[in-house]
A and B are shown apart, each in its own frame.
Chain A
Amino acid sequence: MFKKALLGALTATAFALPAAAQDYVVGVTAALTGPPSSTYAPAVDAMRLYIDRVNAAGGVNGRKIKLVIEDDGAQPSKAAANTKKLITQDNVVLMVNASLSSTYAPVIAETKSENVPLLFASGVCPQSVYPPADPLQFCTTGYASHFDSQATLDFIKATAKGPVKIGFSAMAIPLSRGEMDYAMELSKKVGMEPVDQEVIPPPTADYTPFATKLKDAGPNWVYSWAPWVTQVRTLEALRKLGWNDDYIAWGHLEAEAELVRLKDGKFYVVNSNALFEDGLPIQKEIDAAAKQAGSKYPGQTMTEGWIGGMAIEAALKAAGAGADRAKLRSAMENLTIDTKGLRGGPIVWTKDNHFRTQLYYRVYKWDGSKIARVQDWKNYAVK
C-alpha cells in the first residue's frame, strides 16, 4: 500500500513539474563544415559559449537554455531537414540560422509552416527583416546589403584626395554580385568612375587572372563586399601584380587578424562591430570565455555569435517564464538588445523593423604599428 502510494506520489510529482522547470530549447542550423564554414563556425561557437555562461548564472527566468546545434554544411536540403527535425522532434521555441543565404528559403518555409520565430545570426540579413518585416523573422548580423556600400562609398568620397576611379570585386554568389551591382550604380551617382567589376567563382585556384583584368582597368580604389576569402585574395593578387592603391572591404570576423598579418597601410575595413583593438570590457570577457572553454577560435572572431547569444537571452527574458513560440515572437517585436559597445548602439526591433532602426559603421586600417580607427561610428537610419 505504502509502495503504491509512494509510486503514485512520485508519478504525480513528475507530471506536475511546472513548465518553468523545463529548458528553453533553441535550435540552430549552421554551416559548421563546407567552404563558407569559416564565417559561421566561430559564430556558433561564440553563441554556445554565451548560452553556457547564461546557464551557469542560473539561466533566464529560472529556466536553462538548451541549444541544439545541427550542421547543414551550407546545403539547403540539409538545412531544411535540420529545421524540420528541430521543430518537430526537439520542439524548439526559436530557430537560429547561421548559414549561407542559399539555406534561407527552405528554413523560412519550415519555420513558417509551424509558426516558429526565426533569428538570422552571423549570416547576411534577408530583405524580409527590413521594414515592413515578416512577423516571424529577425536578424542580428552586422553586415547589411546596400547600407554597407553606402557607408563605404561615403568613406571613400570623404577620404579620396582626387577623382575616384573605382573597381569592384564580388564572389559569384547572388548576394555579393547584387551588392556590387548596386555599389557600381551608386558610385556613378556620387561622382565616381566605375572601371571594372570582377565576379570571382568560389573557390578559385588562382586569383591573379581576375586581378590582372582589374588592375588593367586602372582603378585608384577597389571595393569588395564578398566572403572574406574573395576580398583578401583579390587584394593579395593585386599587390603581387604591383597595384598599390587603396583597397576597401567589409570587415568580416577574420578582419582583425588579417589586418595584422597583411600590415598594409592602404587596406581599409568597414565594420559594424568594434574590433578587439578597442579593448572594451565586453571584448575582454569574450576573450577570457574563449580561452577558458579552450575554443579553437580566438575571441576576436566571436562578436557576431556573442551578439546572437545576447539576442536569444534578451528575447527569452522578455517573453517570460512561460514563453512559447507565440509569446516569444510577440516579445521579439518590441525588443532592445544592449550590445555593450560591440556595436555603435543597441539593436532595436519594432513591429515593422526586425533588422534595427540605426546602423553604425567604423573604418579601420593598419597604421604602421597597430590597427587604427580611421573613422569613428557613423550612423544611418533604417526606415
Chain B
Amino acid sequence: MQLAVNIVVLASIYALIACGYVLIYRVSRVLNLAHGELMMLGAYMVLATASLFNGHPVIALAAAILLSLLVGVLVYVFLMRKMTGEMVLAAILTTVALGILIRGLVVLIWSAQQQYPAQALGVPNPSLVLFGGARVSMWSAVLVGTTVIVYAALFAFLRFGRWGMRMRAAGQNPLLAAQRGINLHGVYALAWSLSTLTGALAGILMALDSGVTGGMPVIGLKAFPAALVGGLDSLVGALAGSLIIAAAEVLLIYYVDPLLSDVVPFLVLIAMLIVRPWGLFGTREELDRV
C-alpha cells in the first residue's frame, strides 16, 4: 500500500511540473528550459511573502501564487515576446539564459543555504495515516489534491473557456488565429503565466514538505521526460507519462536498485523516442517555428 501511495505522490509532483512544459510548448512550440528555475523561484517567493505577511500563512501563500503569475507575464513581456518570429533554437537558448540568471539571483537574494518555507510560515507538516497503514505527509497530500484540481481546471479551461479556445487555436495555427483577430501576444502571455503558476505551485508544495535549495531546478529537469513520454503537447499525456515514470522509479527503487531511479526516466524516454517519438498522446509534426 505504501508503494502505491509513493507512486501517486511522485507522479503528482512530476505531473504538476510537466504540465508547465506542455502549456508553453502546446501554444508556442518553445521548450522552456527555465521551468525548473521558475518553479524554484516560486518556492523562494514564499519565503519573501512569509516575512512580509508574518503570521498570516494563507495570505502569504496567496501572495506568492499571485507573484508567480506575474513573473510568468513579465518573462513573456520582457523576454520571450522579443523572440517571436525568431528561430525556435534562439527562444530555447533564451530560456536557458533565463534559468542561469534566476539561479544566480536566488543565491544572491536568499543565500545558498537550505530554507524551510513551512517554518517561515509557521505551518506544521504532520504525517497522515491512510487505509492499509500507509502514510503520507500533509503537504504531499495537498500536492496530490492540487495536481487533481489544476488538471481538472486546465481541461475545463482549454475545452470550454474563451481564452482556452484561443490558446488551442494559436497552438494549432498561429497565422490563421491572428488573422481571425486573436491577440497572440495575449495568448502567449497567458500561457507563460499559467505555466509559471503550475511550476511555482509544485515548487511551493515541495518546499513546504521538505524545504528548498538551489538544487531544485534539477527536479524540474527530471519531470521533463514525463512530459516527453506522454507527448509534449498533451496534458493527458503529461499525466500518463508522469504516472509511468513515477511507477517505474518507485518500483525499481524498492525491488531492484535505488540507483536506477536516476536513469529510469531517461531509459523510458529513450524507449519511447524509438517506438513513438511524438509520445503516447502527442501530435506528430515538425518543429520549425516559434
Taking beta carbons and an 8 Å cutoff, which residues of A are in contact with B? Answer: 32-38, 40-42, 172, 198-210, 212-213, 228-229, 232-233, 236-237, 239-242, 254, 261, 296-297, 301
Among listed B85-93, B104-112, B164-172, interface-contacting one: B104-112
Among listed B154-162, B191-199, B253-261, B271-279, interface-contacting one: B253-261
Known contacts: A34-B214, A38-B112. The answer to whether A212 contacts B3 by CB under 8 A is yes
Nearest opposing residue in chain A for B104, CB measure: A33
Chain B facing A: main interface SS: helix
Known contacts: A205-B13, A208-B9. The answer to whether A41 contacts B112 by CB under 8 A is yes
Known contacts: A201-B262, A204-B261, A254-B113. The answer to whether A33 contacts B219 by CB under 8 A is no
Task: Give how many B residues have a beta carbon under 8 Å from the other chain's beta carbons.
Answer: 42
Instruction: Please tell me if the beta carbons of A203 and B216 are within 8 angstroms of each other in the complex.
Output: yes
What are 15 sample pairs from A and B whose C-beta atoms fall under 8 A apart?
A32-B107, A35-B213, A36-B215, A37-B214, A38-B213, A40-B112, A41-B107, A172-B259, A209-B6, A210-B253, A212-B254, A213-B254, A240-B137, A241-B2, A261-B116
Distance in angstroms from A44 CB to nearest chain B CB is 10
1/0 contact string of B35-79 vs chain A (CB within 8 Å) = 000000000000000000000000000000000000000000000
| Chain A residues, Cβ within 8 Å of B114 | 38, 228-229, 232, 254
Q: Say which residue of A34, A40, A240, A296 sits within 8 Å of B135 (CB atoms).
A: A240
Distance in angstroms from A98 CB to nearest chain B CB is 12
Q: Say which residue of B111, B119, B206 sits within 8 Å of A296 (CB atoms).
A: B111
Instruction: Please tell me if the beta carbons of B254 and A201 are within 8 angstroms of each other in the complex.
Output: no
Distance in angstroms from A300 CB to nearest chain B CB is 11
In the bound assembly, the distance between CA atoms of A85 and B10 in angstroms comes to 44
Nearest opposing residue in chain A for B114, CB measure: A38
| Chain A residues, Cβ within 8 Å of B185 | none
Known contacts: A202-B215, A205-B222, A240-B135. The answer to whether A233 contacts B261 by CB under 8 A is no
| Chain A residues, Cβ within 8 Å of B107 | 32-33, 37, 41
Contacts beyond the supplied A233-B211, A261-B116: 8 A-B pairs with Cβ under 8 Å: A35-B218, A207-B210, A209-B253, A228-B114, A242-B127, A242-B135, A254-B113, A254-B114
Distance in angstroms from A266 CB to nearest chain B CB is 16
Q: Say which residue of B6, B111, B129 sits within 8 Å of A208 (CB atoms).
A: B6
Distance in angstroms from A109 CB to nearest chain B CB is 27
| Chain B residues, Cβ within 8 Å of A207 | 210
Q: Lowest 3 A-B CB distances belong to which pairs?
A: A35-B215, A37-B112, A201-B262
In the bound assembly, the distance between CA atoms of A36 and B107 in angstroms comes to 12
B103 sits at the interface (CB 8 A):
yes
Distance in angstroms from B120 CB to nearest chain A CB is 11
In the bound assembly, the distance between CA atoms of A42 and B113 in angstroms comes to 8
Interface residues of B in 116-162 (CB under 8 A from A): 116, 119, 127, 129, 135-137, 140
Q: Say which residue of A42, A206, A229 sits within 8 Å of B213 (CB atoms).
A: A229
Chain A CB within 10 Å — which of B107, B119, B249 has the most?
B107
| Chain B residues, Cβ within 8 Å of A38 | 111-114, 213-214
In the bound assembly, the distance between CA atoms of A172 and B253 in angstroms comes to 13
B281 sits at the interface (CB 8 A):
no
Nearest opposing residue in chain B for A233, CB measure: B210
